[in-house]
Amino acid sequence: MSRFTGKTAIVTGASRGIGLAIAERLVADGAKVVITARKKEALDEAVASLGGTEHAIGVAGRADDVDHQAATVAAAIETFGSADLLVNNAGINPAYGPLMEIDIDAARKITEVNCLAAVSWTQQVHRAWMRDHGGAIVNIASVSGVHPAPGIAYYGASKAMLIHLTEELAVELAPKIRVNAVAPAVVKTRFAEALYEGREEEVSKLYPLKRLGEPEDISSVVAFLLSDDSAWVTGQNVVIDGGLTLAGGVE
């Protein structure tokens, strides 16, 4: 496939897991990709797995660092000539437990990384490229943002905010820029291990499709939303959950 030939994508939090799977799919579909993460060594390995610097480059930094954001967008344009696509995948969840026990500093950091950073990345790519040339953006939310999820309540609240921000941005940036979100349930990544490790079979039984998600389950939908195949889709949140929310719960 070559539906992204001539396009450049920026994918945050993409040294592994869902972010790397998204980058792999975009490269396979013809895009040049700029990936970010905090650790340069992990990024170097990811770039090599994507086919090297002919197809991808990595820029190390914190997702909520505005200077890092600006440098990444500039690197995309300087290296590959554009910044057409943005995937706000970077996210954190350093707190587990009831809201009455959450550390407020941790909650503040979750908001900064999961919500404010997505707005700031969008501002950066809009100013540098998309305002004049158009583009497409996908934000990685969570089913915990559409259904209560005990134990990760504040993380879920941050993802609910991200879904609403997606809707607001879709209205503000139309018609030249489309903005959508996806809301995965549990996907088998290091980030989500605590939700299934040692009890995958038990957790999978909660899903009508009887399995947990794989990163590729998410990357295929993200690629669709970034592509012209979804040219009349904006402001939507696509739930990718193996039927979990239909069954009445979020693990």
Burial zone of 204 (CB within 10 Å; 0-12 exposed, 13-18 middle, 19+ buried): middle
Separation CA 177–CA 12 (nearest Å): 19
198: CB partners within 8 A, 6+ apart: none
Per annotation, catalytic residue among 96, 154, 155, 207 = 155
Alpha helices in the chain (DSSP H): 17-28, 40-49, 66-80, 104-111, 117-125, 131-133, 153-173, 200-204, 215-226
How is residue 202 written in tokens? 């038990």
Query: Is residue 155 flagged as an active site residue?
Result: yes
Query: Would you report the helix, strand and coil content of the chain in percent, each value rounded to 5?
Result: 50, 15, 35
Q: What is the DSSP letter of 210?
A: S
Separation CA 220–CA 187 (nearest Å): 14
Burial zone of 185 (CB within 10 Å; 0-12 exposed, 13-18 middle, 19+ buried): buried
Catalytic residues, by residue number, are 155
